[in-house]
Amino acid sequence: MDLFTILFYVFALITLGAACVVVFSRHIVRAAFALLFAFFGVAGLYVFLLADFIAVTQLMVYIGGILVLIIFGVMLTQKQINVDIKTSPVQTWPAVLIVAALAGVLIGMFWSTDWARMGEISTATTATTPKLGEMLLTTYVLPFEVASVILLVALVGSAMIARRERNT
Amino acid sequence: MDTTFVLLSIAKIAVVWGGVLTGAAILVLAERRISAWIQNRLGPNRVGPFGLLQSAADVVKLLFKEDIVPTAANRFVHDFAPMISITVALTTFAVIPFGDTIEAFGQNVKLIVADVNIGMLYILALTGIGVYGITLAGWSSNNKYSLLGGLRSSAQLISYELSMGLSIIGVIMISGTLRLDEVVMHQTAPLAHSMQKLPSWLQWLIPVAGWLPSWNVFFQPIGFITFVVASFAETNRLPFDLPEAEPELVGGYHTEYTGMKFGLFFLSEYANMITSSALITTLFLGGWHLPFAESWGLSPFALSLVKIGTFFVKVTILVVFYIIVRWTLPRFRYDQLMRLGWKVMLPLSIANILATGLLLLWWS
């Protein structure tokens, strides 16, 4: 095994182990903390897929943004309520359906990808960022704009909810 | 991977870490001496000549102190938080070029540890991870002052990260790359080159200012100011040091830390100061570029050394600026901090992006 293979298994192990803690841990702070490692491991796996831009975006958006807010919420609520918040399974069947669908998509992707050609791609690829930017503003401009409008709606909505609670 | 690459990388990492860690130690002493000078006292001057060994004595003291963990603390997170802080502080420098190229082992070596395509995003991403060191330290200590410090710092870092990222975008638009070495290369041309496109009623500026190097600070003055202010906030330095405001929070997030674990937070704060000064230098002040150095007729090796020295001098000036600001300005109140971040810095940096885009459209 060369260095890259070992590193790949290290990152895969981090991702899977942390994800297991997130799912099976009953202690919500521990679960939120394990999510940090899961996101980090996934970012490492993106690097192995030569998606450098996606990897850094994963770190910036999920670890630098979303997870900070989750940990914020968990930290504050746990201290204030004085009750240990425990997680327990709810809505088992809808969850099973969604996970099965997701697994189907992922396995389909796995089979349809031409893994043998990955070697050629790794030598041919240079910077992914300019191409991604071009495609987002030409071919995929509609999904890009729709996503930004949805984000704007979420922003306005959350600001509204926060304001209303303060007035009552 | 060939062996030379690995060996060269290890050598570069050793140089960078040695530089940053030694720099941090010297900086602690410099901070105390400069603050003493500003406040008209002497400062530490007993350990060694001019007190130069004070930092070494402090580190030895910290290493031998007892490591106390509060009984009610979350032990694992309490241990883990300083590791996150120091890891982020020591890895951010990897993408910053500290010189041009240098002849070594028979090849031209780029003086940058990790020559990646997405250098700027890497730095922003690591700043995002750096929040966790402080937040988790504040939470895991199980102390209300620590928690308040941790919460303040995460709110502050998230707010100012935005304007930091947005003020970098102006630089990205001008240089058209995310690689920090190319950003520096882009700044080496004389300003006269880009002034050719000025309208005729502004052509008289060319003999006046054309000799200046085309450092980004001349193209992005607003971006430069917002970036410097955001860097002060990101490094928790006065006037933005609310996470560790002594009069209100004892010590803030590191109240419950002793010994070398406290030392790691302290060290990462100073290392972050060096790194952000290096980043300001690279993005806005031309990095290792010294105007007219090429025309001195030096040998390539001496020229490389001059460039490294230029980078070092620029970073030192910025770091001293950091220290002088800390001992000159009072601390912001929390609502002032948030108002500045969201109602002044954010609109200003967005307006800067808009103006840069319009000017680029008009010039090309």
State pLDDT tens for residues A66-110. Answer: 888 888 777 777 655 555 555 667 778 888 999 999 999 999 988
Which chain B residues have a beta carbon less than 8 Å from that of A71? Answer: 132, 135-136, 139
**Which CATH number characterizes residue A40's domain?**
1.20.120.1200
Q: For residues A7 and A69, state if they share a domain.
A: yes
Among residues A81, A109, A144, which one ends one of the domains?
Answer: A81
Q: What is the residue range of A7's domain?
A: 1-81
Cβ–Cβ under 8 Å, residues B295 and B91: no
Of A33, A52, A63, the CB nearest to B128: A63
Any domain includes A119: no
Structure tokens at B149: 């410090």
Percent of chain A whose pLDDT exceeds 90? 20
Within an 8 Å CB–CB cutoff, is residue A72 touching chain B?
yes
Q: Give the count of domains, chain A.
A: 2
**Best to test chain B binding among A25, A29, A70, A75 (most B CBs inside 10 Å):** A75
Are the Cβ atoms of B74 and A63 closer than 8 angstroms? no
Tell me the HSE value of B29 on the side-chain side, using a 13 A CA sphere.
21
Cα A12 to chain centroid, rounded: 15
pLDDT along chain B (364 residues), means of 10: 77 86 86 86 80 83 83 80 88 83 72 80 85 83 80 81 86 84 80 69 71 78 88 80 69 78 86 89 84 74 82 89 85 82 88 89 77
A/B interface, count of CB pairs below 8 Å? 64
Any domain includes A106: no
Any domain includes A166: yes
**Best to test chain A binding among B79, B116, B121 (most A CBs inside 10 Å):** B121
Are the Cβ atoms of A59 and B178 closer than 8 angstroms? no
Query: What CA–CA distance (Å, rounded) separates B230 from B341?
Result: 8
Query: What CA–CA distance (Å, rounded) separates B84 from B257?
Result: 15
State residue A68's pLDDT score: 83
Are the Cβ atoms of A126 and B117 closer than 8 angstroms? yes
CA distances from B292 to A43, B182, B188 (A): 43, 19, 10
State residue A120's pLDDT score: 65
Within an 8 Å CB–CB cutoff, is residue A129 touching chain B?
yes
Of A3, A52, A75, the CB nearest to B118: A52
CA distance A92 to chain B (A): 31
Residue of B nearest to A77 (CA): B139
Of A33, A56, A68, the CB nearest to B125: A56
Any domain includes A77: yes
Cβ–Cβ under 8 Å, residues B105 and B284: no
State residue A80's pLDDT score: 54
- Residue A149 binned pLDDT confidence (cut-offs 50, 70, 90): very high
Q: For residues A69 and A144, state if they share a domain.
A: no
Are the Cβ atoms of B125 and A72 closer than 8 angstroms? no
Are the Cβ atoms of B118 and A76 closer than 8 angstroms? no
Cα A141 to chain centroid, rounded: 23
Any domain includes A66: yes
CA distance A123 to chain B (A): 13
Q: What is the ipTM of this complex?
A: 0.76
CA distance A62 to chain B (A): 10
Chain B: residues touching A (Cβ < 8 Å): 1, 74, 77, 116-118, 121-122, 124-129, 131-132, 135-136, 139, 147, 150-151, 154, 158, 161, 178
Cβ–Cβ under 8 Å, residues B123 and B282: no
Q: Quote the mean pLDDT of chain A.
A: 81
Of A36, A75, A127, the CB nearest to B117: A127
State residue B246's pLDDT score: 67
Among residues A48, A64, A81, which one ends one of the domains?
Answer: A81
Instruction: Decide if pLDDT at A13 tops 90.
Output: yes
Any domain includes A115: no
Tell me the HSE value of B20 on the side-chain side, using a 13 A CA sphere.
28
State residue B172's pLDDT score: 87
Domain limits of chain B?
Answer: 70-190+207-363
CA distance A129 to chain B (A): 8
CA distance A56 to chain B (A): 6
State residue B89's pLDDT score: 87
Percent of chain A whose pLDDT exceeds 70? 84
State residue A17's pLDDT score: 92
Cβ–Cβ under 8 Å, residues B35 and B323: yes
B17-27 burial, b at 16+ Cβ within 10 Å, e below that, comes to eebbbebbbbb
Among residues A81, A97, A118, which one ends one of the domains?
Answer: A81
Any domain includes A48: yes
